[in-house]
Amino acid sequence: MLLAERVRAMRPKNPLVLALPRGGVAVAAEVARALDAPLDILATRKVGCPGRPELGVGAVAEGGEPVYDPDLLGLIGLDPDDLANTVARERREIIRQVDLYRDGRPSPDPAGHDVVLVDDGLATGVTARAALRALRDMRPGPRRLILAVPVAAPDSLGALGGEADEIVALATPVDFHAVALWYERFDQVEDAEVLALLRGSRPT
């Protein structure tokens, strides 16, 4: 896989690969295999606009504070307090994912690792931003923080420049529109597939 080769060429030290579930897990599994590194998840959820849940106005990651798109909030006339119930619902889904996917294992400790955060693509970038900030806020935190995605919207990628130490994106098409358009197949990743990929990555 091209993304895995690009990341391996960066020679990360003591790498730890973290995937944004669910779509990022399949991509991250290939990266972890190429690096011979452990694979885990960093549960992150989009915060949708009340009444229009498909419109993401922010995101929240496990262990982190919500991150919002202030321009979009201003455009639709919302402030963070208006989203408290939505954030609480997404935190419950994060807890469910963590309980299911980790199956009682402790959260990965990023200290001393070059952490490679992987998603299947970057549209608005808000979920990646929430995840990167949650990792940055951990004490002790990662030695180095790398964001790796197959495809990204150029503007969103540029806006994340200060959030990661390094960013790898294979394609940054000007006519981006949506992540799904840049895959030959973009099937919904189910919980069972995530579990199989995570279990397959663990040492025997």
Could you give the CA distance from residue 72 to residue 34 in angstroms, rounded to a whole number?
A: 38
Whether 180 shows a pLDDT value over 70: the answer reads: yes
Phi/psi for 158 (5° steps) reads -60, -35
Residue 109 lies in a domain: yes
How many domains does one find in the chain? Answer: 1
The whole-number average pLDDT for the span 6-26 is 96
28 falls in which pLDDT band (50, 70, 90)? very high
pLDDT digits (tens, 9 = 90+) for 112-157: 999 999 999 998 899 999 999 999 999 888 999 999 999 999 999 9
| CATH code: domain of residue 137 | 3.40.50.2020
Could you give the CA distance from residue 128 to residue 119 in angstroms, rounded to a whole number?
A: 8
The whole-number average pLDDT for the span 60-65 is 94
Residue 12 lies in a domain: yes
Residue 87 lies in a domain: no
Residue 90 lies in a domain: no
Nearest CA-CA partner of 26 in 204, 191, 161, 141: 191
pTM for this one? 0.92
Residue 193 lies in a domain: yes
Residue 125 lies in a domain: yes
